[in-house]
């Protein structure tokens, strides 16, 4: 049992929380452990995405399928993400977690949130779209962003497919390199308990349990809403597509614990790509849906944005009209598409949304800064599960889902060696 990665991560998170609680100073000093692990993972994300996407597309004979998969994925992302925003809005209006706080915005210290607000003002729709196109091929891999890598990988994969048989030697090299990188993923995942230990010790040590208790209504409401969304909405989507959300969560338990420990869904991105292939999803679908979903399918971030925005409005005594709430919904729908799967991105996106809705003071973000780190974990978990569900759904729509492999993976059975789509030894 102790050899299982998810057990090691769970123990590491527990130890990190204990140290952060008993010795806050020590917990804060362990932050470099979590940062180092996330940097290790981010180091390989760009090449893993490039190799997965380019080789997957190159194997396609019908290049029109690439556009079809992308269109279906984006349609799914838009529908489910909008539903998540609406659910956050409805829950905030129903429970009203910020009502009665009667906070004077002028009394808030906005120094701590000024950096997030500045980052939000630098983000525009045009800037976001232009940033997808890298200035150089090398720049796509060094910028630390997913979408430029995805953009180049799609173009390169299409080029390989159009070259045909002459690209066979290069394809062989790329596939061998891909196998080596996924083996590297398995090696790096062995350091996951250390990263989770350091990151969680820092979170508890710096912010303390007390910061959660002080704003328990907001944190509790958000966690409950996210749980209901996963079980109710994503569960229903899973049921309609022939799989259980609970079995999927169990299948991804090691990755989910890693996301919980690091508060970053990117930490488990390479492993998710591998596991979705193992679960019977076609490589080309996995390569397109998951990387794109990390910027366009952020269900947890969407719930957080409308819920947190209305919490701030309620806390400072601002009554938003139905029209203003619809404006908030529309702005959040656009601004959320630029959020990445890293810690703090949701907070920056919230700042960008509030900046366009003047009725709610941006200064109110200071109210939730202390607990944002704890909500970041829930955002990342919900985003991660949402992208796993989206991959299976789009693969099924495309007729590229191996039901036997999916059932075997979700039920903990092993397929015969010849039928197994990819080696999965990250656990």
pLDDT digits (tens, 9 = 90+) for 92-121: 889 888 777 666 666 655 555 555 555 555
CA distance 350 to 375: 13
Among 146-150, 172-176, 378-382, where is mean pLDDT lowest?
146-150
Q: What's the pLDDT score for residue 192? A: 78
Which residues neighbour 356 within 8 Å (Cβ) at sequence distance 6 or greater? 327, 331, 335
CA distance 383 to 333: 15
Among 99-103, 210-214, 321-325, 398-402, where is mean pLDDT lowest?
210-214
Residue 343 has pLDDT above 80, yes or no: no
Q: What's the pLDDT score for residue 230? A: 95
CA distance 374 to 394: 31
DSSP structural state of residue 408: H
Residue 418 has pLDDT above 50, yes or no: no
Q: What's the pLDDT score for residue 424? A: 40
Q: What's the pLDDT score for residue 337? A: 60
Mean per-residue pLDDT of the chain: 79
CB atoms within 10 A of CB 110: 15
From the list 209, 229, 214, 225, the residue with the least C-alpha distance to 98 is 214
pLDDT level of residue 130 (50, 70, 90 thresholds): confident
Q: What's the pLDDT score for residue 112? A: 52
CA distance 243 to 240: 8
- pLDDT tens per residue across span 251-269: 999 889 888 887 777 778 8
Burial category of 3 from C-beta neighbours within 10 Å (exposed 0-12, middle 13-18, buried 19 and up) = exposed
In CATH, which of 3.40.50.300, 1.10.10.60, 1.10.3860.10, 3.30.70.590 is domain 5-410? 1.10.3860.10
pLDDT level of residue 391 (50, 70, 90 thresholds): very high
CA distance 197 to 192: 8
Residue 350 has pLDDT above 70, yes or no: yes
pLDDT level of residue 239 (50, 70, 90 thresholds): very high
Q: What's the pLDDT score for residue 103? A: 66
Higher per-residue confidence, 319 vs 351: 319
Residue the block writes with tokens 């601002």: 318
CA distance 342 to 44: 15
Among 178-192, 254-268, 361-375, where is mean pLDDT lowest?
361-375
CA distance 215 to 308: 12
- Average pLDDT of the residues in 313-318: 82
Report residue 340: phi and psi, to 5°.
-100, 175
Q: What's the pLDDT score for residue 191? A: 82
Higher per-residue confidence, 33 vs 129: 33
Which one of 135-149, 200-214, 351-365 scores highest in mean pLDDT? 135-149
Q: What's the pLDDT score for residue 427? A: 39
CA distance 35 to 44: 15
Q: What's the pLDDT score for residue 234? A: 95
- Average pLDDT of the residues in 292-314: 85
Q: Provide the residue ranges of all domains of the chain, joining segments of one domain with +.
A: 5-410
Q: Greatest CA separation found in the chain? A: 70
pLDDT level of residue 124 (50, 70, 90 thresholds): low
CA distance 48 to 146: 11
Which residues neighbour 407 within 8 Å (Cβ) at sequence distance 6 or greater? 413
CB atoms within 10 A of CB 101: 15
Residue the block writes with tokens 């380019």: 54
pLDDT level of residue 397 (50, 70, 90 thresholds): very high
From the list 328, 62, 58, 88, the residue with the least C-alpha distance to 173 is 58
**At CA 7, angle to CA 218 and CA 200, rounded to 5?**
40
Burial category of 135 from C-beta neighbours within 10 Å (exposed 0-12, middle 13-18, buried 19 and up) = exposed
Percent of the chain whose pLDDT exceeds 70? 79
Q: What's the pLDDT score for residue 344? A: 52
Among 13-22, 44-53, 361-370, where is mean pLDDT lowest?
361-370
Residue 44 has pLDDT above 70, yes or no: yes
Higher per-residue confidence, 94 vs 13: 94
Q: How many residues does the chain have?
A: 427
Residue 356 has pLDDT above 50, yes or no: yes
Residue 386 has pLDDT above 90, yes or no: yes
- Average pLDDT of the residues in 40-61: 78
Q: What's the pLDDT score for residue 265? A: 78
Cβ(345)–Cβ(146) under 8 Å? no
Which one of 2-11, 122-131, 154-163 scores highest in mean pLDDT? 154-163
CA distance 74 to 377: 25
Residue 325 has pLDDT above 80, yes or no: yes
- Classified as helix, coil or strand, 401 is strand
């Amino acid at each position: 049992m102790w050899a299982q990665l998810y057990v090691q991560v769970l123990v590491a998170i527990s130890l990190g929380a204990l140290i952060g609680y008993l010795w806050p100073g020590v917990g804060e000093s362990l932050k470099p452990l979590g940062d180092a692990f996330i940097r290790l993972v981010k180091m390989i994300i760009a090449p893993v995405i490039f190799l997965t996407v380019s080789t997957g597309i190159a194997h396609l004979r019908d290049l029109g399928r690439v556009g079809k998969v992308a269109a279906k994925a984006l349609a799914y992302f838009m529908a489910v993400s909008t539903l998540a925003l609406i659910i956050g809005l409805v829950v905030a209006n129903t429970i009203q977690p910020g009502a009665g706080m009667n906070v004077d915005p002028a009394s808030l210290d906005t120094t701590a949130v000024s950096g997030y607000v500045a980052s939000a003002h630098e983000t525009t729709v045009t800037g976001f779209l232009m940033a997808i196109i890298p200035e150089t091929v090398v720049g796509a891999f060094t910028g630390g962003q997913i979408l430029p890598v995805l953009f180049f990988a799609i173009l390169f994969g299409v080029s390989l497919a159009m070259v045909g048989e002459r690209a066979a030697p290069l394809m062989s090299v790329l596939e061998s390199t891909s196998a080596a990188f996924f083996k590297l993923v398995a090696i790096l995942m062995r350091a996951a308990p250390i990263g989770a230990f350091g990151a969680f010790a820092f979170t508890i040590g710096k912010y303390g349990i007390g910061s959660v208790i002080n704003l328990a209504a907001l944190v509790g409401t958000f966690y409950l809403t996210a749980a209901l969304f996963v079980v109710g909405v994503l569960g229903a989507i899973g049921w309609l597509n022939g799989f259980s959300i609970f079995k999927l969560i169990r299948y991804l338990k090691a990755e989910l614990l890693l996301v919980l420990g690091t508060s970053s869904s990117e930490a488990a991105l390479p492993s998710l790509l591998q596991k979705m292939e193992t679960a019977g999803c076609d490589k080309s679908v996995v390569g397109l849906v998951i990387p794109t979903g990390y910027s366009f399918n952020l269900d947890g971030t969407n719930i957080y944005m409308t819920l947190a925005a209305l919490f701030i409005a309620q806390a400072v005594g601002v009554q938003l009209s139905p029209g203003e709430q619809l404006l908030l919904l529309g702005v959040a729908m656009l601004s959320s598409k630029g959020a990445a799967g890293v810690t703090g991105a949701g907070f920056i996106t919230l700042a960008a949304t509030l900046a366009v809705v003047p009725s709610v003071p941006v200064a109110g973000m200071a109210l939730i800064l202390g607990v944002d780190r704890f909500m970041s974990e829930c955002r990342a978990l919900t985003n991660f599960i949402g992208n796993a569900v989206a991959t299976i759904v789009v693969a099924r729509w495309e007729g590229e889902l191996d039901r036997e492999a999916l059932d075997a993976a979700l039920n903990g059975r092993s397929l015969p060696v010849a039928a197994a789509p990819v080696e999965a030894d990250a656990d």
